[in-house]
Amino acid sequence: SQHKAQGRKQTPGRAPIEALVMEMQDPNAGIKMQTQRLVITAIPHAMTGSDILAWLMNRLQISDEEAQNLGNQVVQHGYIYPLQEPKNLLLRPDGSLYRFQTPYFWPTQHWPAEETDYAIYLAKKNIRKKGILEDYEKENYNALNKKINHKWDFIVMQAKEQYRAGKERKKGDRFVFECQERAYWLVHRPPVSNFQELNSISEEFSLIIFNQQSLMRSRVKSSVSLGGIVKYSEQYLKHDPIMSGCLPSNPWLTDDTKFWELNMPLVETPTKLRVERWTFNFRELIRDPRGRQDFQLFLRKEFSGENLGFWEACEDLKYGDQSKVKEKAEEVYKTFLAPGARRWINIDGKTMDITVKGLQNPHRYVLDAAQTHIYMLMKKDSYGRYMKSPIFKETMNKAIVPEVTKFTFSKRYWKSSPSPVILRQQEEEAKAKAATNAPMDITQLCKYTAPVSHLAVYTGICEPTSPTSPTLCEFPPSSPGLVTLPNSAACPSPISVAIESTPSSKRKLEASNSVASTHIPSIAEATEVSVSSNSSTTAVEEARQPLQKSRMALSFSRFLKRGCSNSPVFATLSPKCPSVNSSRVQPLDGDQQQVTQTKSKKITNFFQIKVDIPSECRIYPIDSEDEEEDGPNVAKSTEKEVICPWENLAEGKAG
């Protein structure tokens, strides 16, 4: 509404042009005034263009051209208006007459030229000219009449009154007022050029369309929508990890990543909560890959598996690689839609027609109609039966409720993962290897463990020359020809290693141990590198190998002292003692040559969880021993932190 304009603050400096205009009024130093002679009256305060220009040049000490530009600006903004050619908003450098505009009509930002005012002006002009308006004015008039029709009665009233009130003024002033108004509206509502018209029309048009669409939107009572929100919240309360906690535990708090493992997309046994969600509505079921899997099983039994297959194919088309749209669409047609297709879906003739037609120009959403049809079919028909089916019941029964993680404060492990870059590389290498080598049993579990019993196995392939393993770079030089690892490429290590982070002292040992056991490949490589110097690409790496090996020796000696499951790696594990390890550990040096020979190429190491470890292995608390021993070795072992940059970080913090 108009009255939303803010009151004007007393701004000290008005627009510079205004100050200039004020100066022009000066009876002594201002512009020379003349009288405009009209038929009936004479009106004072007229100026010639040339006088104005001369004044500008003199006052501002600017050139002819600059003054002309400035003068044009002054006229175009409406501070001065031409008397003889009102529509020509330029300052002519000749005897054409101009007059100052009254301050009311000066351009301001606070009060833009309003439609209501313009309508009143046009109505007044209509009265004065007895209906003869210019074409563009007529257009504007009619447009405004439609646009602000609800104000029209007022506009007519006010126009008439303003016209009558004007008659109370003397004739000359009345004439001047009319000129002022006309000048103002010529500035603010100029006779529109086609281009501008188009712009404004398209703007108006899009506004109209937007508003029409808004009107068509279905509206819901707030009571209904609020009820919906409440119902939703109640239903999902149990499922919200923030509100209701999550089992076994929040990984971010306890560092136990079991929660994520148990809720993987295609996990074997889903959790009870998850299965419960499938019962909420069809959407939940179909959005969950595991749910879909179960549902597919059911559908197969009912011989309608093609429906879900089709739906999935549609999703793939929508969200998949768009460069393959054509092929995918063809594939879908051949498999699902063509008469006599292998997995023909049952949709009505009309939808089929539309779809087939659309497939001639395939795009992302060409199958939408058919997909919706099939979706609704499944939802209304199969979903209900699935909920009552024995398949679902079985899944529900098998669904697990994880136990709460035992969180003990003494074992506050700090965790972080290895760089995803490394992980990805290693994954890719593993895949490549798996493709080429004899299939090895790869078990890769999550690297993060909690203080809880959890076996993690680290798989990876370490290339001797992989430049990205930052850990290798961190090996300070050590004497060559050092420890080999108890594990060689030839046979998978029986050691299962969990990489855990430990508090300071623990961490060091742990680190070194894990360095020893988990990152054996890299160590081995390191060993290899030092031995066969030509395989190393970076001098740094080379330099660092020796020291690393010395550390290896130290760590292994410690390792040996402890006997079996001293490593905190096995701390909470069942007594799976690496006594086997110890036996392996001994021929450390002896194995070295073997190791280095076998590791002349890429090294693949796979670790498996060994089950048959003697039970009499004790689990030693690590800390005390650590603290005793770690005197001079602390620093070194910290530096030695190998492929686990996080451990470096942690140690850096702790140390």
Partner 1 sequence: MGKEECRALLEALNKVAACYRHLVVTIGGTSDSQNLREELKKTRKKAQDLAVANRNKLTVFLKDKTISKDDRVEYERLWVIFTTCMEILEVDMRKALEMGQEFQLNAPKRNLIQTGMSGGTTGVAARAMSAQNMKYEADSNIDVVDLKDLENEINQVGEMMMEMEMKVNVPNWTVEAKQDPGAELQSTISVGASSVGMISLNEQNKSVCDITRLLAGIIFTAVLIIAVVLAVLVIQLS
CB of 36 to partner 1, least distance (A): 7
User: Which position has the token pair 């006309």?
Assistant: 182
- Applying CB under 8 A, the span of 161-169, 269-277, 402-410, 494-502 interacting with partner 1 comes to 161-169
- Applying CB under 8 A, the span of 143-151, 193-201, 371-379, 385-393 interacting with partner 1 comes to 143-151
Q: Count Cα atoms within 13 angstroms, Cβ side, for 108.
A: 14
Query: Which of residues 70, 75, 159, 580 is near partner 1 by CB under 8 A?
Result: 159
- Vertex 434: Cα angle to 433 and 440 (nearest 5): 115
34 makes contact with partner 1 (CB under 8 A)? no
Contact between 616 and 469 (Cβ < 8 Å): no
- Applying CB under 8 A, the span of 103-111, 292-300, 459-467, 562-570 interacting with partner 1 comes to 103-111
Contact between 579 and 564 (Cβ < 8 Å): yes
Query: Which of residues 12, 61, 135, 165 is near partner 1 by CB under 8 A?
Result: 165
Contact mark string toward partner 1, 2..31, x via CB under 8 A: xx-x-xx-x---x------xx--xxx--x-
Residue number with CB closer to partner 1 (179 or 588): 179
Nearest Cα to Cα of residue 453 among 505, 405, 382: 405
Q: Count Cα atoms within 13 angstroms, Cβ side, for 604.
A: 18
Q: Kindly provide the residue ranges of all beta strands, DSSP E only, lying in 6-58, ordered along the sequence.
A: 34-37, 42-48
Residue number with CB closer to partner 1 (159 or 370): 159
Nearest Cα to Cα of residue 497 among 538, 459, 544, 541: 459
CB of 160 to partner 1, least distance (A): 5
Parallel/antiparallel/unpaired status of strands 42-48 and 97-100: antiparallel
Residue number with CB closer to partner 1 (169 or 301): 169
Q: Under DSSP, is residue 38 helix (H, G, I), strand (E, B) or coil?
A: coil
388 makes contact with partner 1 (CB under 8 A)? no
- Vertex 331: Cα angle to 330 and 332 (nearest 5): 90
Residue number with CB closer to partner 1 (100 or 336): 100
Residue 125, amino acid: K
CB of 89 to partner 1, least distance (A): 18
470 makes contact with partner 1 (CB under 8 A)? no
CB of 47 to partner 1, least distance (A): 9
Query: Which of residues 32, 37, 87, 164 is near partner 1 by CB under 8 A?
Result: 164
Distance between CA atoms of residues 521 and 492, nearest Å: 11
Residue number with CB closer to partner 1 (125 or 415): 125
* Helix orientation angle between 390-398 and 289-301, rounded to the nearest 10 degrees: 150
Query: Which of residues 17, 20, 113, 156 is near partner 1 by CB under 8 A?
Result: 156
CB of 195 to partner 1, least distance (A): 27
CB of 125 to partner 1, least distance (A): 10
- Applying CB under 8 A, the span of 149-157, 310-318, 382-390, 521-529 interacting with partner 1 comes to 149-157
349 makes contact with partner 1 (CB under 8 A)? no
Query: Which of residues 13, 61, 94, 130 is near partner 1 by CB under 8 A?
Result: 130
Q: What is the CA radius of gyration of the chain?
A: 43
Distance between CA atoms of residues 315 and 309, nearest Å: 10
DSSP type of residue 495:
-
DSSP type of residue 257:
T
Q: Does the N-terminal peptide bond of residue 248 adopt cis geometry, omega within 30 degrees of 0?
A: yes
Site residues for partner 1, window 83-102 (CB under 8 A)? Answer: 99-102
Q: What is the DSSP string of 89-124?
A: -S--SSS-EEEEPPGGGS--SSS---HHHHHHHHHH
CB of 94 to partner 1, least distance (A): 20
583 makes contact with partner 1 (CB under 8 A)? no
Contact mark string toward partner 1, 44..63, x via CB under 8 A: xxx-----------------
With CB under 8 A, what is the number of residues at the site for partner 1?
67
Residue number with CB closer to partner 1 (125 or 274): 125
Residue number with CB closer to partner 1 (126 or 638): 126
Contact mark string toward partner 1, 238..277, x via CB under 8 A: ----------------------------------------
Q: Kindly provide the residue ranges of all beta strands, DSSP E only, lying in 384-513, ordered along the sequence.
A: 460-462
Burial 104-137 (b: 16+ CB within 10 A, else e): ebbbeeeeeeebebbbbbbbbbbeeeeeeeeeeb
116 makes contact with partner 1 (CB under 8 A)? yes
33 makes contact with partner 1 (CB under 8 A)? yes
Site residues for partner 1, window 307-346 (CB under 8 A)? Answer: none
CB of 189 to partner 1, least distance (A): 17
Distance between CA atoms of residues 43 and 29, nearest Å: 22
Site residues for partner 1, window 166-225 (CB under 8 A)? Answer: 166, 168-170, 172-173, 176-177, 179-180
Residue number with CB closer to partner 1 (146 or 342): 146
Residue 27, amino acid: P
* Helix orientation angle between 520-531 and 588-598, rounded to the nearest 10 degrees: 80
Nearest Cα to Cα of residue 79 among 98, 95, 63: 98
Cβ neighbours, 10 Å, residue 296: 15
Burial 452-461 (b: 16+ CB within 10 A, else e): bebbbbbbbb
Q: Is 465 exposed, middle or buried (0-12, 13-18, 19+ CB in 10 A)?
A: middle
- Vertex 436: Cα angle to 430 and 439 (nearest 5): 70
CB of 135 to partner 1, least distance (A): 15
CB of 200 to partner 1, least distance (A): 20
Query: Which of residues 50, 69, 145, 263 is near partner 1 by CB under 8 A?
Result: 145
Contact residues for partner 1 (CB under 8 A)?
1-3, 5, 7-8, 10, 14, 21-22, 25-27, 30, 33, 36, 43-46, 99-105, 108, 110-111, 114, 116-117, 123-124, 126-127, 130-131, 141-142, 145, 149-154, 156-162, 164-166, 168-170, 172-173, 176-177, 179-180
